[in-house]
Structure 1
Amino acid sequence: MNRTPWRRRREPLDHAELAGLLPPPGDPVLPHGRLTTLEEHLMNEIQQARSQKAAEAQPRPVLLFPALPPEPPRRGGRRLALVGAAVAVAVLAGVAGAVQFTGRGDGEAAGPPEGAVPASIVQVAQGTTDGLSSTVDRISGAAEREKLPEPRPGQFLYIESQVSWLQTSENVDTGESRTYVQKLHPRQVWMSPDGSKGWLIEPGNDTTSEDGLTLDDDREDPARPSIGAPSYDYLKTLTTDPDELLKKIYKETEGQGNTPDQQAFTTIGDLVMEQVMPAELASALYRAAAKIPGVVVVDDTTDAVGRHGIAIARTDETSGDRTEWIFDAETFSYLGERTVQMRDAEGIKAGTVIGHTAITERAIVDAMKEVPGARSKA
């Protein structure tokens, strides 16, 4: 699910005075990656409970928290929705932009979060609806041609990518913030077709060790797949009619995100980015996305590893960032995704690239941690 990757911290009015009397704060006991994982786990549990309550006439008492107030507007940066609800709990922790507040009590500007680099600012090409239909037709056709073998029981879906997401450092005394991004780093995910087993290796973001971490859902009552946390087996059951598919997405994501249209676009983007799915469904999802108001074509953009391509994009009216799905301009194969701030907002300047991904491998493998093209394991 989505979560807010950056939000201005509100301090009490007498914070500056107190800061002068107290020693500088120490480092947190838990590492940043672990804190993020715990946060995402909590948010995922809340989302699952809400979805079940809406879908079942007699919902099970899963929600253990009091009713929450309406959420504030959320920034669109993220996210990688993955096979299996249990997988999403652990994996999403590694991809959403992280919040890191730094203050030393002396009024000095905050330094960069560990492992972060200054965010790049680019000249953003404006999008247009001219040629949207024909471009989506080519993208959908390419998706249908790029079929992978049907995974058998015991096999795993494998996705390898290069990723970088937003990080912000803020001085708690002055409120001054600076925008950074994670260093571009590799990410490997293995997922079983039923969504019950998985593995993640992403040491570059402190999400995992070099060996990675398990994504198995070993609970007695495992979470059921949904449009926001699907499995391959679940995706096979979805309609490939674009109109019906879009209707289902709007219904199941009601109340999420900043607007219904933006959340529908975000949900489709999550599904096609870090996922292996039936080719006919991928084609239908692109055709469904073209029906969302505000979707445009961007003639030239680049993915995380510098590959140029054409993009299908939409700007979040609330947060002001634009998410671009990038495709090869000749083959129309999916390359990755980029998120760019389109206007100054929340201390982030227009043109700042706040999210970057590049999918470098999708495959079906025979064993957990097996790397495509070799029988060795990662």
Structure 2
Amino acid sequence: MIRTPWRRREEPLDHAELRRLLPAPGDPELSSDRLRGLEEHLMTEIRNRTPDTAPDTAPNPLAGPPPAGAPAGDRASRPGRRSGRRPVLVGVAAALALAAAGVAALAGGPGGSGGSENPGRVAAPPAGAVPAPVVQVVRGSTAALAGAVADISGAAARAELPEPGPGQFLYIRSEVSGLVSWEGSDGKNRSYVDKIHPREVWMSPDGAKGWLLEPHGKGTGRDGITLDDPEGGERTLNSPSHAYLKTLPTDPSLLLEKIYDETRGMGNGPDQQAFGTIGDLLREQVVPPKLAAGLYRAAARIPGVVLVDDSVDAAGRHGIAIARTDESDGSRTEWIFDRETFAYLGERTVQTRDAEGIRAGTVRGHTAVTGRAVVDALKQRPAGSAPGGDRAGAPAAPSAGT
């Protein structure tokens, strides 16, 4: 490679003389309306184009898909909402490129709101997205919460769950759908969700090796992506492994104390963060039975947690739900359980009030766990499981322990 040698300047540069010779710099200024429009368009482009990553976390291989209500632009390409090791950042170059795209759109370019042709036309939603369903918001109550939690935790403690041996992998299959916010060419935000699609995760007990297959998800590709962690990062509540979960206390008081301590300063307040952390642990894991029971009892002690009489998972299964509303945006996350067996079915997030352009009753997303097993190799499926890209018909109810 030919390099230009560094040369020492023989004479000092006269900056004052240089300023006198050069023309005065311009002083461009945008109107406040145009500046606001550029800022709004830039944020919309970032939400719609950035690979899925939660704003306050990096991907977590075992915490599972993002909470059902997380916008698609906030979800991680690797499982998990708050935790993990490799945050996806929007670099300066990417931000400048998006800003340029925003200027072009506002100036009347393709898809922009400034064009005179079809001024009221609504831009097409992202590929694979459908209008978000809207449901009647069922009020929650604490009246029957204690009894329901006792039944749920009791079933979890009695569950017979698969235990991985040396060289084996945990396998979790789900049906998932998440929120996609989209701004039309008329400037109005509309809520769409991904079509419900399968998601499969393989993970070694120590969390060092894994694979994610979600052909219809964003950032995973048709063949999936690796979840390997060759650096062997430290395991925490926000970056757990099956082996790590087995080291946690099962007493609800000790669990809750640990959760509040380790998540201090994260999320939208300590109570909401504690509830979300427990949900992450339960969603896409094989949780030891006694720990699962302790987590449910711990969740019931978090202020604001209620019981909802009816909720529906992504597979269409109805059940009761342990729920909590995030007061910052009005979204209520519901953990859904079978009415008879008290097995964990999945999760749903519903908007409880109009906020951030999302109307009350909008289902921001939902999941359904359709299988948990132990397999002998990465990408291997248990007997009778459907191929990765196809749905396997009516899902079997998951084990009661999770």
Q: TM-score, normalised by structure 2?
A: 0.71
Answering whether residue 160 of structure 2 is matched by residue 150 of structure 1, we say no
2-side partners of 1:293 and 1:249: how far apart?
A: 14
Pick closer, same or farther for the CA change 1:308–1:377 going to 2, 3 Å.
closer
2-side partners of 1:244 and 1:36: how far apart?
A: 36
Pick closer, same or farther for the CA change 1:259–1:75 going to 2, 3 Å.
farther
The one-letter code sitting in structure 2 at the alignment partner of 1:199 is W
Residue of structure 2 equivalent to 1:134: 147
Q: Give 1:14's match in structure 2, choosing from 34, 51, 57.
A: 34
The one-letter code sitting in structure 2 at the alignment partner of 1:85 is G
Pick closer, same or farther for the CA change 1:339–1:40 going to 2, 3 Å.
closer
Pick closer, same or farther for the CA change 1:320–1:279 going to 2, 3 Å.
same
2-side partners of 1:153 and 1:12: how far apart?
A: 62
Residue of structure 1 equivalent to 2:80: 81
Residue of structure 2 equivalent to 1:235: 245
Answering whether residue 286 of structure 2 is matched by residue 263 of structure 1, we say no
Cα shift at 1:147 = 2.4
1-side partners of 2:227 and 2:151: how far apart?
A: 35
The one-letter code sitting in structure 1 at the alignment partner of 2:153 is S
Answering whether residue 230 of structure 2 is matched by residue 218 of structure 1, we say yes
Pick closer, same or farther for the CA change 1:352–1:223 going to 2, 3 Å.
same
**3-state SS of paired residue (1:343):** coil
Residue of structure 2 equivalent to 1:103: 112
The one-letter code sitting in structure 1 at the alignment partner of 2:152 is I
1:39-64 C-alpha deviation (Å, 9 max, x unpaired): 5699429x9xxxxxxxxxxxxxxxxx
Residue of structure 2 equivalent to 1:178: 190
Comparing 175-184 with 345-354, greater Cα deviation is found at: 175-184
Q: TM-score, normalised by structure 1?
A: 0.76
Pick closer, same or farther for the CA change 1:121–1:183 going to 2, 3 Å.
same
**3-state SS of paired residue (1:14):** helix
1-side partners of 2:304 and 2:288: how far apart?
A: 27
Cα shift at 1:150 = 2.1
2-side partners of 1:134 and 1:321: how far apart?
A: 25
1:312-365 C-alpha deviation (Å, 9 max, x unpaired): 001111110100000000100000000000000001000000011000001111
1-side partners of 2:192 and 2:83: how far apart?
A: 31
The one-letter code sitting in structure 2 at the alignment partner of 1:122 is V
Q: Give 2:138's match in structure 1, choosing from 103, 121, 125.
A: 125
1-side partners of 2:386 and 2:184: how far apart?
A: 46
Contact 2:336 2:345 in 1 (8 A): yes
2-side partners of 1:291 and 1:43: how far apart?
A: 25
Residue of structure 1 equivalent to 2:174: 161
Pick closer, same or farther for the CA change 1:346–1:17 going to 2, 3 Å.
closer
Answering whether residue 219 of structure 2 is matched by residue 207 of structure 1, we say yes
Residue of structure 2 equivalent to 1:360: 370
The one-letter code sitting in structure 2 at the alignment partner of 1:138 is D
The one-letter code sitting in structure 2 at the alignment partner of 1:217 is D
1:102-155 C-alpha deviation (Å, 9 max, x unpaired): 635325433311110000100111111011111001100111122223211211
Contact 1:161 1:360 in 2 (8 A): yes
The one-letter code sitting in structure 1 at the alignment partner of 2:147 is S
The one-letter code sitting in structure 2 at the alignment partner of 1:147 is E
1-side partners of 2:272 and 2:55: how far apart?
A: 23
**3-state SS of paired residue (1:165):** strand
2-side partners of 1:81 and 1:276: how far apart?
A: 15
**3-state SS of paired residue (1:313):** strand
Pick closer, same or farther for the CA change 1:368–1:328 going to 2, 3 Å.
same
Residue of structure 2 equivalent to 1:55: none
2-side partners of 1:116 and 1:212: how far apart?
A: 20
Contact 1:103 1:170 in 2 (8 A): no
Answering whether residue 51 of structure 2 is matched by residue 36 of structure 1, we say yes
Pick closer, same or farther for the CA change 1:41–1:152 going to 2, 3 Å.
farther
Residue of structure 2 equivalent to 1:334: 344
Structure 1 unpaired stretches of 5+? 1-10, 19-23, 48-73, 91-100
2-side partners of 1:177 and 1:217: how far apart?
A: 38
Residue of structure 1 equivalent to 2:64: none
Contact 1:327 1:334 in 2 (8 A): yes
Query: What is the root-mean-square deviation of aligned Cα atoms in Å?
Result: 3.4
Number of paired residues? 318
Pick closer, same or farther for the CA change 1:121–1:360 going to 2, 3 Å.
same
Contact 2:69 2:179 in 1 (8 A): no
